[in-house]
Amino acid sequence: EKGGYDYFMLKEIAEQPKAVADTLLGRIDANGSLTLDEVRIGAAELREVDKVVIVACGTAFHAGLIAKYAIEHWTRIPCEVELASEFRYRDPILDSRSLVIAISQSGETMDTLMALRHAREQGSKVLAICNTNGSTIPRESDAVLYTHAGPEVAVASTKAFLTQLVACYLVALYLAQVRGTKWGDEVSAVIRDLSHISGEVERVLETMEPVRALARSLADKRTVLFLGRHVGYPVALEGALKLKELAYMHAEGFAAGELKHGPIALIEEDLPVVVVVPSPRGRSVLYDKIVSNIQEIRARGARTIVIAEEGDEQVVPYADHLIRIPATPTLLQPLVSTVPLQVFACELATARGNEVDQPRNLAKSVTVE
């Protein structure tokens, strides 16, 4: 059942190109427009939406954080992302024009379920993004967009995360399409890029051997830090979460712009710091900032592990270890930049003798508070 792999997690990492392709299947038509028939919230209603609120836990929350960048950029609708466990216990400002998106692989996470009930009580429409047919969260939502990752057995989420991202992009692009935003051309270009993205995920998987070797060489470290900006920031959070749950190491993700506001004090000789670098094309200001963040931490002795696009030569002198990913549009980069972090955490867990598929103290689906 593990299909020749030692762990379900390895199998599920390898299944990601297919999971991504399956989640896109039938949702982009021949003219390059989106058909999300399952989203039973009508176009008229979607045009009225004046606020999007995303609720989720853990890895699904990280997918939501990335979705915010895409939704606000492509639709110009304000979007908030909140941990379901926080949202359900406060007094959020919601009404019938708010669209609440609940993201959950299992569809059974108690906090996410309670958050969506909380939203519906206030008259908001709830759209679930879920991987499990007929589970409680989609059943209690107004509409559902299923991710087609197939069953995810390993406790650490991998393929479900990538497909959650795809589903979030589809929702963002669909909202943009229905509302006809001024980003029309960009939206069509991104839809084209999305339809090829599973091949790029495949290419990343083919180049993971050096990442595994690097992970093994770090097996006796106590701490690893992760830095990113823009959509690279939630990717950093996700990389740190994977490492905590699998390798039982102290790992933290930071927004690189926050370094000087505290975290830089943690930097010491030989501390491994993973940095997710955005594309040098497009948002050049952001790119320059992160290159100078890398220089700053390296000057203080950090061992820099840099994830950067193919063809990005400027980072080379500052990278103690360089992990290449294919060039993608900025907002789609998490689909390729997350993969090396999953492989890294899985290999570190193995090197430390940990149980990869069933980490200590964790359950696949958290159905209690």
Kindly list the residues in this chain that would bind ligand M6R in the complex (CB under 6 A): 57-60, 104-106, 109, 112, 155-157, 241, 245, 365-366
Radius of gyration, alpha carbons of the chain: 20
Minimum distance from residue 82 beta carbon to ligand M6R (Å):
14
| 140 touches 127 (CB < 8 A) | no
Nearer to ligand M6R by Cβ, of 161 and 318: the residue is: 161
CB of 273 to ligand M6R, least distance (A): 22
- Taking the C-alpha atoms of residue 215 and residue 367, their distance in angstroms, rounded to an integer, is 33
Question: Could you tell me the smallest distance in angstroms from the CB atom of residue 241 to ligand M6R?
Answer: 6
CB of 312 to ligand M6R, least distance (A): 29
Minimum distance between the CB of residue 180 and ligand M6R, rounded to whole angstroms? 32
Q: Which is nearer to ligand M6R, 155 or 162 (CB)?
A: 155
Nearest distance from C-beta of residue 84 to ligand M6R, angstroms: 8
CA distances from 151 to 5, 18, 131, 134, 225 (A): 16, 13, 8, 13, 31
Residues across the chain: 369
CB of 98 or CB of 104, closer to ligand M6R: 104
Cβ neighbours for 91, distance < 8 A, ≥ 6 positions apart:
none
Shortest CB 107 distance to ligand M6R, Å: 7
DSSP character string of 59-81: HHHHHHHHHHHHHHHHH---EEE
* C-alpha dist (Å) from residue 227 to 245, 323, 360: 18, 14, 26
- Of 110 and 266, nearer to ligand M6R (C-beta) is 110
Between 19 and 187, name the residue whose CB sits nearer to ligand M6R: 19
Q: Which two tokens stand for residue 175?
A: 């909202």
Pick the closer one to ligand M6R by CB: 295 or 365.
Answer: 365
Whether 304 and 258 have beta carbons less than 8 Å apart is answered as no
Q: Quick check: 337 and 312 in contact, CB under 8 A?
A: no
Question: How many C-beta atoms surround the C-beta of residue 269 within 10 A?
Answer: 8
Q: Which of 81, 82, 238, 70 is nearest to 169 (CA)?
A: 70
Cβ atoms within 10 A of the Cβ of 85, count? 18
Considering beta carbons, is residue 294 or 345 the nearer one to ligand M6R? 345
Task: Say if CB 152 and CB 15 are below 8 A apart.
Answer: no
Tell me how far CA of residue 141 lies from CA of 93, 126, 129, 221, 357, in angstroms. 19, 5, 10, 44, 30
Rounded to whole angstroms, the Cα distance separating 56 from 137 reads 11
What's the min distance (Å) between Cβ of 58 and ligand M6R? 2
Which residue's CB is nearer to ligand M6R, number 200 or number 238?
A: 238
| Nearest distance, CB of residue 262 and ligand M6R, angstroms | 25
Distance separating alpha carbons of residues 88 and 46, to the nearest angstrom? 24
| Nearest CB to ligand M6R, comparing residues 226 and 318 | 226
